């Protein structure tokens, strides 16, 4: 009598066997997964950039700022997952690499049980915030009433979507990035339809929140359906709650949770809350302009490294420490060569871009944009370190330094928001990010036993050269030409980017690396 396939069997059957040479197979898997995840996110960013000036014109800075305030609060709640989100992916990949069906099933069930509780708590918090908007934020009575309704709608959305969150993380642990990409496409379609309906019909932000929330619910159900199409329902035992597994997820995730709190304090979500509390909703609309560019840089990096964790977790589970070290050093090198030129162009061209994008009346926000866009310059040489520490269960070693950096950022933000406004908040984020970078790199190199000189020569030096070359070419072109169109600016940046990539491809890659790149470009179907 045939038996129901297990989680391990279905996951392995869905993925092609790696190439005979394991390291090349791992590289192909990571690159292919990255391509899967990047496509829908590019479209989502494009829609976001097109819609922003339209919303600004349609609502005005104050009303649109209310929508941004609600979004900031909801994003803040997502931070309070106690670090379990990434641990689900890590543990899934770990158990899958070892072929441990029982542990894989317990982790999945525990994740759903835990998130069911979080969804209820999150919805209750949003209801409480909605009932107290007039005392929590600097808004008028009319704005407070609108905020209240939007928070109540988001509470319902939170209740329906957060409980399904583990589905995405388990699929990521299985490295089902093709399925995840399809669900992301559905998310882009839903959010785009919501934007189009609101702009065409002239509806207010409450309708936008409602339609966007419905789209999120549909996507959450799609993730859940995708999981149970990939994983047999009968292989998961929901009759008994695996309490020890829940405690394990919390124990492993808590150091990561503290890191997430730090990122929240350093990055733009806390900035937006500070602006909403101490300044006004209109300030959030102004701050959103440079934040969009910052989000573009963040998304490029997340797409590049978002598929690394399952791969490194598998290496760690098999005790392949040397390959973990090589993945960090050379992964940082390739990320620097790939992303630093684009990040440098965003940094140097931010004031011009904002002027051409939303209007010359907002040109002063360019200073804020450059302060924020200096932060991602650090990330290519440190981002893979997150996956290394998580896979080695060493994130707790980094936690004290992370908390110190976050508190520095929050303290400076509260100190500078009134006298310096947006610039003060952005400067606080940059100083905190600088402290975070220095301490994080020290911890990763020490824990992973990586030679400092090798890391500096292989990863840092190429990135600095790429930044200098990109900025120099942009300044030369902008001095020689008068850029008066957004599309001309984008075309020039793309041209400069191609030139820089060609130069660094010749200077900073050897013959074997160039051969591998040409093989990928010339034979995409085979790869």
Has residue 424 got a pLDDT over 70? yes
Has residue 413 got a pLDDT over 70? yes
Give the model's confidence band at 20: pLDDT under 50 very low, under 70 low, under 90 confident, else very high. Answer: very low
For 338-393, what is each residue's pLDDT tens digit?
Answer: 889 999 999 999 999 999 999 888 888 989 999 999 998 888 888 788 888 878 87
Amino acid 33: pLDDT: 52
Q: Give which of 229, 150, 114 is closest to 183, Cα–Cα.
A: 229
Other Cβ atoms closer than 10 A to 299: 17
Other Cβ atoms closer than 10 A to 471: 17
Q: Give which of 126, 133, 131 is closest to 154, Cα–Cα.
A: 126
Amino acid 234: pLDDT: 55
For the chain, the average pLDDT equals 81
Amino acid 19: pLDDT: 36
Residues whose CB falls within 8 Å of the CB of residue 57, separated by 6 or more in sequence, listed in order: none
Look at 309 and 74; give whichever has higher pLDDT.
74
Amino acid 157: pLDDT: 92
Which H or E run includes 50? helix 22-59
- Lowest-pLDDT choice from 38-42, 180-184, 405-409, 476-480: 38-42
Give the model's confidence band at 245: pLDDT under 50 very low, under 70 low, under 90 confident, else very high. Answer: confident
Q: Residue with structure tokens 């190429």?
A: 462
Amino acid 233: pLDDT: 53
Provide the percentage of residues in the chain whose pLDDT is more than 90.
Answer: 20
- Pull the structure tokens for residue 280: 């006004």
Amino acid 320: pLDDT: 85
Other Cβ atoms closer than 10 A to 79: 18
For 64-94, what is each residue's pLDDT tens digit?
Answer: 889 988 988 888 888 888 888 878 888 888 8
Residues whose CB falls within 8 Å of the CB of residue 15, separated by 6 or more in sequence, listed in order: 174, 175
C-alpha 323: how far from its chain's center? 25
Has residue 404 got a pLDDT over 50? yes
Phi-psi region of 354 (alpha: psi -120 to 50; beta: other; left: phi over 0): alpha
Measure the CA–CA gap between 383 and 348, rounded to whole angstroms: 22
- Pull the structure tokens for residue 260: 């997430």
Phi-psi region of 359 (alpha: psi -120 to 50; beta: other; left: phi over 0): left
Provide the percentage of residues in the chain whose pLDDT is more than 70.
Answer: 84
Amino acid 293: pLDDT: 86
Using alpha carbons, list the distances in angstroms from residue 468 to 333, 401, 493: 16, 30, 15
- Lowest-pLDDT choice from 178-182, 230-234, 273-277, 408-412: 230-234
Residue 46 phi/psi, 5-degree rounding, is -60, -45
How does DSSP assign 71-104, residue by residue? HHHHHHHHH-STTHHHHHHHHHHHHHHHT-HHHH
Q: Name the H helices within 60-176.
A: 61-79, 84-98, 101-131, 133-136, 141-161, 165-173
Amino acid 517: pLDDT: 63
Has residue 144 got a pLDDT over 80? yes
Look at 146 and 38; give whichever has higher pLDDT.
146
Has residue 189 got a pLDDT over 80? yes
Has residue 38 got a pLDDT over 50? yes
Using alpha carbons, list the distances in angstroms from residue 413 to 370, 372, 433: 17, 13, 13
For the chain, the helix, strand and coil percentages under 3-state DSSP, each to the nearest 5: 85, 0, 15
> How much is the pTM?
0.74
Has residue 127 got a pLDDT over 90? yes
Q: Residue with structure tokens 């989502």?
A: 44
Measure the CA–CA gap between 349 and 449, rounded to whole angstroms: 38
Measure the CA–CA gap between 234 and 88, rounded to whole angstroms: 20
Look at 148 and 454; give whichever has higher pLDDT.
148
Has residue 26 got a pLDDT over 60? no
Say if CB 444 and CB 382 are below 8 A apart. Answer: yes
Has residue 439 got a pLDDT over 50? yes
Amino acid 325: pLDDT: 85
């Amino acid at each position: 009598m045939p038996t129901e396939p297990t989680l391990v069997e279905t996951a392995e059957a869905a993925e092609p066997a790696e190439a005979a040479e394991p390291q090349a197979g791992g590289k192909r898997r990571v690159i292919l997964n990255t391509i899967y995840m990047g496509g829908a996110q590019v479209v989502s960013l494009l829609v976001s950039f097109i819609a922003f000036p339209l919303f600004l014109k349609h609502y005005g800075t104050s009303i649109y700022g209310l929508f941004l305030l609600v979004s900031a609060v909801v994003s803040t709640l997502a931070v309070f997952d106690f670090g379990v989100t990434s641990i689900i992916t890590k543990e899934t990949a770990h158990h899958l690499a070892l072929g441990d069906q029982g542990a894989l099933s317990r982790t999945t069930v525990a994740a759903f049980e835990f998130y069911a509780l979080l969804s209820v708590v999150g919805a209750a918090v949003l209801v409480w915030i909605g009932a107290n908007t007039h005392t929590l934020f600097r808004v008028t009575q009319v704005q407070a009433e609108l905020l209240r309704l939007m928070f109540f709608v988001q509470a319902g959305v939170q209740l329906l979507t957060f409980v399904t969150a583990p589905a995405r993380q388990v699929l990521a642990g299985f490295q089902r990035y093709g399925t995840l990409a399809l669900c992301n496409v559905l998310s882009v379609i839903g959010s785009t339809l919501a934007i189009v309906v609101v702009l065409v019909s002239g509806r207010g932000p409450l309708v936008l929140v409602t339609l966007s929330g419905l789209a999120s619910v549909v996507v959450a159900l799609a993730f859940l359906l995708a999981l149970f199409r990939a994983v047999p329902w009968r292989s998961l035992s929901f009759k008994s709650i695996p309490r020890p597994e829940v405690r394990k997820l919390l124990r492993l995730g808590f150091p990561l949770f503290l890191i997430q709190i730090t990122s929240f304090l350093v990055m733009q979500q806390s900035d937006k809350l500070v602006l909403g509390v101490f300044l006004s909703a209109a300030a959030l609309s102004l701050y959103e302009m440079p934040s969009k560019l910052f989000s573009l840089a963040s998304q490029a990096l997340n797409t590049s490294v978002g598929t690394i964790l399952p791969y490194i977790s598998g290496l760690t589970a098999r005790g392949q420490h040397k390959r973990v070290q090589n993945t960090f050093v050379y992964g940082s090198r390739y990320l620097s060569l790939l992303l630093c030129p684009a990040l440098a162009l965003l940094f140097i061209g931010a004031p011009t871009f904002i002027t051409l994008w939303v209007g010359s009346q907002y040109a002063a926000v360019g200073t804020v944009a450059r302060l924020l866009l200096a932060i991602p310059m650090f990330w290519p040489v440190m981002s893979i370190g997150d996956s290394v520490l998580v896979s080695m269960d060493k994130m707790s070693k980094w936690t004290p330094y992370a908390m110190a950096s976050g508190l520095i950022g929050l303290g400076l933000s509260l100190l500078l928001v009134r006298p310096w406004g947006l610039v003060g908040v952005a400067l606080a984020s940059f100083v905190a990010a600088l402290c975070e970078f220095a301490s994080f790199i020290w911890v990763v190199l020490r824990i992973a036993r990586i030679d400092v000189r090798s890391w500096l020569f292989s990863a840092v030096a190429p990135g600095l050269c790429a930044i200098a070359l990109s900025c120099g070419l942009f300044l030369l072109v902008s001095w020689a030409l008068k850029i008066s169109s957004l599309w001309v600016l984008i075309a020039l940046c793309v041209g400069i980017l191609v030139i820089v990539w060609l130069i660094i491809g010749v200077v900073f890659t050897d013959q074997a690396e160039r051969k591998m790149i040409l093989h990928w470009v010339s034979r995409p179907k085979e790869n």
